[in-house]
Chains A and B, each alone.
Chain A
Amino acid sequence: EPEVTQTPSHQVTQMGQEVILRCVPISNHLYFYWYRQILGQKVEFLVSFYNNEISEKSEIFDDQFSVERPDGSNFTLKIRSTKLEDSAMYFCASTGIMNTEAFFGQGTRLTVV
């Protein structure tokens, strides 16, 4: 069964450093998303991406965040200068042409120290 894969599964970084979280969505999907889940809290929408541009973003997704689909298969989330409060589980998701069912990856746990 096709699945969304995310790497790495866990990343530890120092405050102020840049991190790139990587995702490989399901191959024929067209819509891509990043969500995050701070420990003990609910899953929150960050950004959606379609046709090589951001289609929607939340208030969380400020100038420190960016997304890119560099090569037609990967979908990345970059945090330019990490803060302690960026520590969370980050989930990538994708949906197909009908945009009805989001498939989620296993998540990347980001720890900022």
Chain B
Amino acid sequence: AQSVTQPDIHITVSEGASLELRCNYSYGATPYLFWYVQSPGQGLQLLLKYFSGDTLVQGIKGFEAEFKRSQSSFNLRKPSVHWSDAAEYFCAVGAYNTDKLIFGTGTRLQVFP
């Protein structure tokens, strides 16, 4: 069965520091991979997605993610975090033969000045 693991429940970084949020998935074939962000009181906003091709994908707000098949990972990165990046980040996996997305449990990012 498909599953998504986000090992870090809560991460705290200083503004300007680099960031990496981890995501591991379990799926038999090549998955479709997504990162969503949820700011307090807001809905889910798509940061980036991977379907095929270049394994390094660029997203909005300066985020990028790298698909590593050998590690079943799709980690989200940002070189320099801004205070406005504080939010909950969700990794999700989809597949060609299903409509649904399977979400991870999320990582709450806190940014200190």
A-to-B contact residues, CB < 8 Å: 4, 6, 31, 33, 35, 41-45, 48, 50, 55-56, 58, 91, 93, 99-107
Contacts and interface: CB of A to CB of B under 8 A. Distances in A.
Interface string B93-113: 000001111111110000000
For the complex of A and B, the 9 pairs showing the least CB-CB separation, nearest first, are A48-B99, A45-B100, A104-B44, A43-B103, A106-B43, A42-B105, A104-B43, A42-B103, A56-B99
B99 A31 contact: yes
B105 A107 contact: no
16 contacts: A41-B105, A42-B103, A42-B105, A43-B44, A43-B101, A45-B102, A48-B99, A55-B99, A56-B98, A56-B99, A58-B100, A91-B43, A100-B49, A102-B34, A102-B101, A106-B42
Identify the interface centre among B43, B45, B92: most chain A CB within 10 Å of its CB.
B43
Determine chain A's interface SS by DSSP, over half rule: strand
Interface string B25-56: 00000001010100001111110010100000
Nearest to B90: A43
Contacts, number: 53
Interface residues of B, number: 22
Identify whether the interface residues of B are mostly helix, strand, loop, or mixed: strand
A6 to B, nearest CB: 8
Given A100-B49, A100-B51, A102-B46, 11 more contacts: A43-B101, A45-B101, A45-B102, A48-B99, A55-B99, A91-B44, A100-B32, A102-B34, A104-B36, A105-B43, A106-B41
User: Looking at A4, A58, A102, which has the most chain B CB atoms within 10 Å of its CB?
Assistant: A102
Given A100-B51, A104-B36, A56 B100 contact: yes
A48 B101 CA distance: 10
Contacts of A100: 32, 49, 51
Contact of A99 (B49, B99, B105): B99
